Amino acid sequence: MFSSILFRNIFLSVLIIVLIFSVSVYFFSVPLIRHSLYEAEEASARTILENVYELVRSEYLGIEAYRESALGARKRELKDIVRLVESLLHSRYQQYRQGILTEKEAQNSVLEELRKLRYGNSDYIWITDYDAVLISHPDPRLYKADYSLVRDKYGKLIVPSVIKIAREENEGYTSYWWRRLEREDFVEKLTYSKNFSQWKWVIATGVYIDDVKKEVARRRKKMIEELRHILRRIKVARTGYLYVFDSDMDMIIHPNPNIEHTNFSDLLNPLTNNSIGKELIAAAHRPVPKLYYQWDKPDDKGRYVYEKISWMKYFEEFDWYIAASVYTEELNSTADMLRNRILWVSAVTFLLSLAAAIIFLHNLLIPVRNLSDMAAKVEEGDLSVRCHVTGKGEFVLLATAFNSMLARIKNNISVLDIKVHERTRELVRANEQLMQEMEERVHAQEAMRKSHERDQSILENIEDGYFEVDLDGNLKFFNDSLWKNLGYASDELMGMNFRVFVDEENEKKVFNVFNEIYKTGRPITAFDWELIKKDGSASYVETSVSLIKDSEEQATGFRGIARDVTERKKTERELAYLAYHDTLTGLHNRKAFMEEFKRTLAQAKNYENERTLFYLDLDRFKLVNDTYGHETGDKLLKEVADRLKKSVRETDHVCRLGGDEFTIILKADTYTDRVIERVRENISCTYNIDGHLIDFITPSIGISVYPRDGRDVDSLIRCADAEMYKAKAMRET
């Protein structure tokens, strides 16, 4: 067979055509699939990093809001304490004026009481005369001491500054650095002083700022622990992870506990021999914030031959660098799997095509070989030879004509015998031809069945769903992964239109995508849509779709691969929720409040109607934390949040800005008075927290109305805040 020149020429042509086709399919499809899947994995990692960055920003804003709120509460507390002392001085002064006590007795009695007074964290009251002589102080060393020239650690005059603001403005705040009682280290202190002109005294008390800083540090530590818990649950690709460090290269959060709280400034990039930390920091400030580098693996330590990629984000307020890191081979793992399977299918198809070509050529050349042998025998004078050619076509006609010619020559010898013999031979030949055709058809059907089984096995073994639909969106073919994911039986799904398992929004989205593919002929990769399973549950898939064409290049349908990304979507929604909600109360946070308030004002401007903003905080909330602890305070804040939501309609917007400050955006302007009444009544009711009956919490509420009090977000917030502090001042008075 291989000695035939005709066979070699035809076989070589078939071999080249099949080889070119297989190579073309491989090199045109594999790079496209690999590039598309890599970009999809990279986009997913960047989305996760961006959501974590927004979560950190939200926590930072909450801590800053608490810092401002706590300092304001401390200032109000100082003012309340001084006012109480002022009342005591007025009482003694009146006793002196009425003749009940002498002036000296009245002064000594009140000074003696104040020297023993303590409150808060070893805080106290002190009094100085206009000459800066301390006439009342709990520290015996400072009693009657002249402080007219005493300065703090930075050279600022202490007592003269306090006296000056009290005498010029009657009351005011002064900041300087001083020691706590019974301690020698200096701490920043905020002092409130008030003038008592009747005796030419200045009453003063202060709070150490480090008390507020300690609470801020506690909240930041709690935030880091919560963030650590969240990041350890997030995976990038298969083994990738997120980590956080600062500019000193101290590792703050890392999925490996052994690495956390360590400094990696001496850890070098094995290829560049530079600090890997400095390279990561530099990458964070580039236009494209990512870094490629070689690293080892946990199961192959010391061999820095595995390429990694880290995407970076810098959070300036905390001086944090947030990174998402993964081995690049994991981003290509899915593409590599599909490439190998396509290569395997191409190889099998190539071998089957060669085998089919050999069988076809072998059967094709049998008549040629028979005719050649017969011609040689006829040339030698043997007229009894016949060419036994089976099948159809020109070779059969040629052989038949040749045999007929020989038959007519022999007919001169024995016409009848030749006719009978020829008829019998024709019947045998027809029967043999029929049997051979039947056998060839069986072989061809068996080869097609095996090829179909191999293709079916490949599709059924991939985890992603594969489907083919006609131009109307009716399913014509799919693998097991698709119908198992949708929850239908295979026979139920066959012929079903895609509109059955999508809602109206996704129906339009999918139609537009398929229509774009139909118009342009270009495939579309990695578009997301939501499927509705048979049981009613939702499943998110990431789909790649291309056009199916017939032999005449006419579009007949679409084929695609759908990957289940439900878990990834769930993680993205959780991170999005945390970015816009307060983690303690579940209310909207400051970021959500600002965005919603801007939208509300835009609607009010369009429809020319009013909108009302409530700005409130809790009176004496600090007393809850000081008396019962911060855990009880947090539980009380949750209860306050629930009561606020019950006080307004569902369409109204309740937010927690931080600490004990809340806002309410009313979407209607017809029931403001009723809301104020319900909020005051509900918030002022007694709280039962961990067995403690707390009945002294009341709200101070400030209200601003658009457009009466302002036409933009900042002016309305300032107005409501000012009204709240007026309300608080009136309540304290």
Q: Which of these is catalytic: 464, 582, 652, 660?
A: 660
Q: Give the list of residues 6+ apart from residue 559 with CB closer than 8 angstroms, or none.
A: 466, 467, 468, 469, 545, 546, 548
Q: Give the list of residues 6+ apart from residue 450 with CB closer than 8 angstroms, or none.
A: none
Q: Give the list of residues 6+ apart from residue 29 with CB closer than 8 angstroms, or none.
A: 342
Could you tell me the maximum CA-CA distance found in the chain, to the nearest angstrom? Answer: 173
How large is the C-alpha radius of gyration of the chain?
A: 44
Q: With left for phi above 0 and alpha for psi between -120 and 50, is residue 117 left, alpha or beta?
A: beta
Task: Measure the CA–CA gap between 393 and 360, rounded to whole angstroms.
Answer: 14
Name the residue among 658, 660, 637 with its Cα closest to residue 590: 658
Strand order in the sheet with 241-246: 251-253, 241-246, 320-327, 306-315, 290-295
- Whether residue 732 contacts residue 80, with contact meaning beta carbons closer than 8 Å, is answered with yes
Q: How many CB atoms lie within 10 A of CB 393?
A: 10
Task: Measure the CA–CA gap between 682 and 689, rounded to whole angstroms.
Answer: 15
**Measured CA distances, 445 to 439, 442, 609 (Å):** 10, 5, 78
Task: Measure the CA–CA gap between 93 and 98, rounded to whole angstroms.
Answer: 9
Mark whether 185 is an active-site residue: no
SS3 content of the chain, % helix, strand, coil (to 5): 55, 20, 25
The H-or-E segment that residue 59 falls in is helix 5-97
Angle at 507 between CA 504 and CA 513, to 5 degrees: 145
Catalytic residue set: 660
